[in-house]
C-alpha cells in the first residue's frame, strides 16, 4: 500500500517535471517564430516591472537597513564598523538583492499569473482562445516569460540601490557614522565579478517566476478551488526553486569567477 | 431508426426561409463537413465516449441530446481538436485532425465558430474586442473591425453593448455576444455547447431564435449540444421570418429537414436520425428521455 503510494507520487513528480520542461521549452522557443505579441510583452512588463517596483524598493531599502544594523553590531566588536558599507553593498549585490527580489516578485506575480491563467482555464477562456485560432502559449505565456526575465533584471538593480541607500541611512542616522566612508567602502571593494554575479541570478529567477506561475495556471483543474491550489503551488514552488537555483548558481559562479 | 443526415439539405422545407437562397446548389452526395469514425476517449477512468461514428453534412444542423455528464461537450471539443481521441479518426473539412499538431489545427479552427457553455468571453477586454478577437489577430483595419462588430452585434440584437465589459452583461447577453464572436468570421461550421444551459425560459428562447436565424440566414452547418428537449424541438419546428423579425412555427406536420438528432447514453451513440424517427423510436432510453 505504502509502496504503491510512493510509486504513484514518484511517477507524478517525474511526469510533472517532464511536462514543465516541455512547457518551458515551448515558451522559450516561441520567440523565434511568428506570431510575436509585442503589445502583450509591453503590457506584462508594465504589470510586472512597474507594478512590483514599490514592494521591491521597500523590501530592498529595509533589508539594507537591517544588514547595516546587524553588521555594525557585530563589526564593532572587532573595531571594524568602517567596513559596514562594504558588507552591505556586497551582500545586497551578490546575494540578497537578486534572491529577495525574486521571492518578492514570485509572491506577487507567480501567484497573479497562476490565478489569472487558472481562472481562464476553468472558465474555458483558454479553450475559446484555441478555438479562435490563437495559441495561448504564444499569446499568454511567452510574453509573460520574457517580460518577467527583463523586468527582474531592472528590479534587482533597483533593490540593490535601495538596499545600499537603506544601509547608508541606518549607518548615518542611527549608527552616527560617516556617510562618505560608507559609500567609499561600498564602492572601492566592489568588483565586476560581484556585479556580474548579481545580474546573472535575476535572469534565472525571472524565468522561474514566469514559467512556474504560467505552468501551474495552465494546468489548473477543479474549478475555483483548483485555482487556489495552483496559486499556492506556483508561489511555493517558484520561491523554493529560486533559492535552490541561487545556491547552485552561487557555487558555479564563484568557481567560474575564481578561475578568471 | 432511420439515418437520414446525409440527405438533409438546407432550405428544402418549402417554407420560404427569410434570407435563404432557393437557388443554392444542391450536392447529391456531399462530402461531410465533420466525420467521426469509431472515436473513443477516456480521462483517467472508464471511457467517456466509445466507438462514436456520425457525420455532419453541408447545411445540416445536428442536435446532440443526452443527460448531463454523458460526454456531449467532450464530443464537441473533439470536433475542432480541442481534445484528441484515444482511438478512431475525426475528419474536419475532409482532413484527419486526430493526428494533427496544435499548430496544424489553428487554420482549421479559424474556419469554425464555437459558442461555449458559459460564453467564455475574455473578461479583461470589451465586447467589441471579444467579438473582433480573430480580426484583431489578423490585423484587420480598425474601421473595418468596427463595422463588422456592429453587424455581428446587430445580428444578436446587442449593438448597444459595443463598449461594455463582459462583467456588466447578463448570462443571456454573454451567450449572445459569444454567438456574435463565433459568427463574425463567417465560419463554415458552428459548434454550440449548451448555449441555453442555466438560462431562464424566455432568454433560452431568444438564444434558440438566434440559432434558427443563423441557420436560415447563413446555412452554415452546425451542431448544438443540449439536454433541453424543448430547444431541440423548437429548432426543428420553427423557421426565421425576416419580415416579422422573429421565428415562426412551420405549418402543422412540417419539420425542418436540415435539423437532425443524435443522442448519447453512457458514452455511446444510441440514436442518429430525424425528429420523426426520434419520436417513434423503440429505444427505451430515448423514450424515457423524451417522456
Q: Give a yes or no: residue B10 inside a domain.
A: no
Q: Above 50 in pLDDT, residue B27?
A: no
Of A217-221, B17-21, B188-192, give the lowest mean pLDDT range: B17-21
* Interstrand relation of B238-241 and B246-249 (parallel, antiparallel or unpaired): antiparallel
Among the listed residues A196, A212, A206, A210, the one whose alpha carbon sits nearest the alpha carbon of residue A149: A206
Contact list, B107 vs chain A (CB under 8 Å): 133
Rounded CA gap, A178 and A90, in Å? 19
Q: State pTM to two decimals.
A: 0.86
The alpha carbon torsion through B61, B62, B68, B73 (nearest 10 deg) reads -80
Rounded CA gap, A244 and B107, in Å? 42
**Residues in chain B, total:** 291
In tens, the pLDDT along B36-52 reads 999 999 998 899 999 99
**Residue spans per domain, chain A:** 39-259
How far from A216 is each of A15, A117, A223, B122, CA to CA, in Å?
A: 14, 9, 14, 20
Q: What is the mean pLDDT of chain A?
A: 93
Q: What is the pLDDT of residue B21?
A: 39
Q: Above 70 in pLDDT, residue B13?
A: no
Helix A223-259 with A192-218: angle, nearest 10 deg: 160
**For residues A88 and A163, is the Cβ–Cβ distance under 8 A?**
yes
Radius of gyration (C-alpha) of chain A in whole angstroms: 21
Which parts of chain B fold into alpha helices (H)?
72-79, 102-110, 127-131, 133-137, 142-155, 171-183, 201-218, 229-237, 275-280, 284-290
Region A175-190: mean pLDDT is 89
Phi and psi at residue A136, in whole multiples of 5°?
-60, -30
B109, B121, B137 member nearest A131 (Cβ): B109
- A74 to chain B nearest CA, in Å? 52
Q: Above 80 in pLDDT, residue B15?
A: no
Q: Give a yes or no: residue B127 inside a domain.
A: no
The CATH number of the domain holding residue B258 is 3.40.50.300
Among the listed residues B193, B191, B199, B192, the one whose alpha carbon sits nearest the alpha carbon of residue B170: B199
How many DSSP H helices and E strands does chain B contain? 10, 12
**For residues A67 and A87, is the Cβ–Cβ distance under 8 A?**
yes
Q: Above 70 in pLDDT, residue B19?
A: no
Q: Is B188 on the interface with A (CB under 8 A)?
A: no
Q: In this predicted model, which residue has the larger pLDDT, A190 or A140? A: A140
Rounded CA gap, B144 and A148, in Å? 35
Q: Is A3 on the interface with B (CB under 8 A)?
A: no
SS3 state of residue B91: strand
SS3 state of residue A135: coil
Q: Give a yes or no: residue B235 inside a domain.
A: yes
Q: Above 50 in pLDDT, residue B1?
A: no
Task: Give the three cell numbers for residue A71.
Answer: 553588521
Contact list, A46 vs chain B (CB under 8 Å): none
B110, B123, B191 member nearest A133 (Cβ): B110
SS3 state of residue B224: strand
Q: Give a yes or no: residue B23 inside a domain.
A: no
Contact list, B110 vs chain A (CB under 8 Å): 132-133
**For residues B144 and B195, is the Cβ–Cβ distance under 8 A?**
no
Region A87-115: mean pLDDT is 95
Rounded CA gap, B113 and B188, in Å? 8
**For residues B265 and B272, is the Cβ–Cβ distance under 8 A?**
no
Cis peptide before A135 (omega within 30 of 0): no
Q: What is the pLDDT of residue B14?
A: 31
Q: What is the pLDDT of residue A185?
A: 87
In tens, the pLDDT along B269-285 reads 999 998 888 888 888 88
Q: Give a yes or no: residue B39 inside a domain.
A: yes
Q: What is the pLDDT of residue B30?
A: 73
Q: Above 50 in pLDDT, residue B5?
A: no
Interface contact flag, B114 A134, Cβ < 8 Å:
no
Q: At CA B87, angle to CA B85 and CA B88, rounded to 5?
A: 95
Give the number of other Cβ atoms within 10 Å of residue A196's Cβ.
16
**For residues B189 and B33, is the Cβ–Cβ distance under 8 A?**
yes
- A24 to chain B nearest CA, in Å? 17
Q: Give a yes or no: residue B243 inside a domain.
A: yes
Q: Residue A122: closest CA among chain B residues belongs to which residue?
A: B120
Give the number of other Cβ atoms within 10 Å of residue B28's Cβ.
5
Residue A1's pLDDT band (cuts 50, 70, 90): low
| CB contact set of A33 (below 8 Å; sequence gap of 6+) | none
Q: What count of CB pairs under 8 Å joins A to B?
A: 53
Phi and psi at residue B67, in whole multiples of 5°?
-70, 170
Residues 108-167 of A with CB under 8 A from B: 120, 123-125, 127-135
| Burial (CB count <10 Å: 0-12, 13-18, 19+), residue A12 | exposed
Among the listed residues A196, A114, A103, the one whose alpha carbon sits nearest the alpha carbon of residue A152: A103
Quick one: residue B22, left, alpha or beta (phi over 0 = left, psi -120 to 50 = alpha)?
A: alpha
Give the number of other Cβ atoms within 10 Å of residue B163's Cβ.
9
**Domain span at B246:** 32-119+190-290
Phi and psi at residue B212, in whole multiples of 5°?
-65, -40
> How many structural domains does chain B have?
1
Rounded CA gap, B24 and B36, in Å? 27
Region A151-173: mean pLDDT is 95
Q: In this predicted model, which residue has the larger pLDDT, A220 or A74? A: A220
Q: Give a yes or no: residue B185 inside a domain.
A: no
Q: Above 60 in pLDDT, residue B77?
A: yes
Rounded CA gap, A87 and A72, in Å? 9
Region B224-236: mean pLDDT is 90
Contact list, A128 vs chain B (CB under 8 Å): 114, 116, 120-122
Q: Give a yes or no: residue B3 inside a domain.
A: no
Interface contact flag, B110 A35, Cβ < 8 Å:
no
Q: What is the pLDDT of residue A66?
A: 95
State ipTM.
0.85
Amino acid at each position: 500500500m505504502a509502496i504503491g503510494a510512493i510509486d504513484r507520487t514518484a511517477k507524478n513528480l517525474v511526469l510533472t517535471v517532464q511536462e514543465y520542461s516541455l512547457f518551458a521549452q515551448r515558451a522559450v522557443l516561441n520567440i523565434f517564430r511568428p506570431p510575436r505579441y509585442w503589445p502583450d510583452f509591453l503590457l506584462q512588463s508594465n504589470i510586472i516591472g512597474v507594478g512590483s517596483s514599490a514592494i521591491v524598493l521597500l523590501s530592498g531599502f529595509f533589508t539594507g537597513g537591517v544588514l547595516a544594523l546587524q553588521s555594525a553590531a557585530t563589526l564593532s566588536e572587532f573595531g571594524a564598523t568602517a567596513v559596514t558599507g562594504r558588507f552591505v553593498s556586497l551582500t545586497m549585490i551578490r546575494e540578497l538583492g537578486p534572491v529577495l527580489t525574486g521571492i518578492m516578485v514570485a509572491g506577487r506575480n507567480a501567484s497573479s499569473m497562476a490565478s489569472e491563467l487558472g481562472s481562464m482555464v476553468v472558465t474555458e477562456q483558454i479553450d475559446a482562445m484555441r478555438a479562435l485560432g490563437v495559441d495561448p502559449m504564444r499569446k499568454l505565456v511567452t510574453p509573460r516569460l520574457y517580460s518577467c526575465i527583463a523586468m527582474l533584471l531592472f528590479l534587482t538593480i533597483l533593490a540593490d540601490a535601495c538596499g545600499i541607500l537603506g544601509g547608508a541611512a541606518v549607518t548615518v542616522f542611527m549608527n552616527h557614522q560617516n556617510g562618505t566612508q560608507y559609500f567609499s567602502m561600498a564602492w572601492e571593494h566592489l568588483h565586476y565579478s560581484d556585479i556580474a554575479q548579481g545580474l546573472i541570478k535575476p535572469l534565472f529567477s525571472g524565468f522561474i517566476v514566469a514559467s512556474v506561475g504560467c505552468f501551474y495556471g495552465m494546468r489548473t483543474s477543479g474549478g475555483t478551488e483548483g485555482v487556489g491550489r495552483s496559486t499556492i503551488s506556483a508561489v511555493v514552488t517558484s520561491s523554493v526553486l529560486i533559492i535552490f537555483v541561487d545556491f547552485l548558481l552561487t557555487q558555479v559562479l564563484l568557481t567560474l569567477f575564481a578561475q578568471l | 431508426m432511420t439515418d437520414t443526415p446525409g440527405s438533409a439539405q438546407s432550405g428544402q422545407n418549402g417554407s420560404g426561409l427569410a434570407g435563404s437562397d432557393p437557388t443554392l446548389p444542391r450536392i447529391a452526395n456531399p462530402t461531410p463537413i465533420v466525420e467521426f469514425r469509431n472515436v473513443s476517449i477516456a480521462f483517467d477512468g472508464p471511457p467517456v465516449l466509445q466507438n462514436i461514428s456520425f457525420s455532419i453534412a453541408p447545411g445540416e444542423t445536428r442536435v446532440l441530446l443526452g443527460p448531463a455528464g454523458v460526454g456531449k461537450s467532450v464530443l464537441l471539443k473533439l470536433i475542432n481538436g480541442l481534445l484528441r481521441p484515444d482511438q478512431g479518426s475525426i475528419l474536419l473539412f475532409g482532413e484527419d485532425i486526430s493526428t494533427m499538431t496544435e499548430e496544424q489545427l489553428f487554420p482549421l479552427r479559424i474556419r469554425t465558430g464555437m459558442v461555449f457553455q458559459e460564453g467564455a468571453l475574455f473578461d479583461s477586454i470589451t465586447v467589441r474586442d471579444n467579438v473582433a478577437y480573430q480580426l484583431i489577430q489578423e490585423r484587420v483595419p480598425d474601421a473595418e473591425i468596427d463595422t463588422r462588430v456592429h453587424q455581428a452585434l446587430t445580428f444578436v440584437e446587442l449593438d448597444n453593448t459595443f463598449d461594455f465589459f463582459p462583467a456588466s452583461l447578463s448570462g443571456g447577453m454573454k451567450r449572445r455576444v459569444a454567438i456574435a464572436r463565433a459568427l463574425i468570421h463567417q465560419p463554415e461550421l458552428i459548434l454550440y455547447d449548451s448555449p441555453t444551459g442555466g438560462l431562464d425560459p424566455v432568454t433560452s428562447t431568444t438564444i434558440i431564435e438566434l440559432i434558427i436565424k443563423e441557420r436560415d440566414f447563413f446555412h452554415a452547418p452546425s451542431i448544438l449540444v443540449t439536454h433541453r428537449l424543448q430547444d431541440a424541438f423548437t429548432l426543428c419546428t420553427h423557421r426565421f421570418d425576416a419580415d416579422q423579425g422573429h421565428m415562426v412555427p412551420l405549418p402543422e406536420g412540417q419539420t425542418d429537414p436540415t435539423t437532425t438528432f443524435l443522442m448519447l447514453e453512457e458514452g455511446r451513440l444510441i440514436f442518429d436520425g430525424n425528429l420523426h424517427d426520434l419520436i417513434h423510436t423503440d429505444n427505451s432510453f430515448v423514450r424515457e428521455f423524451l417522456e
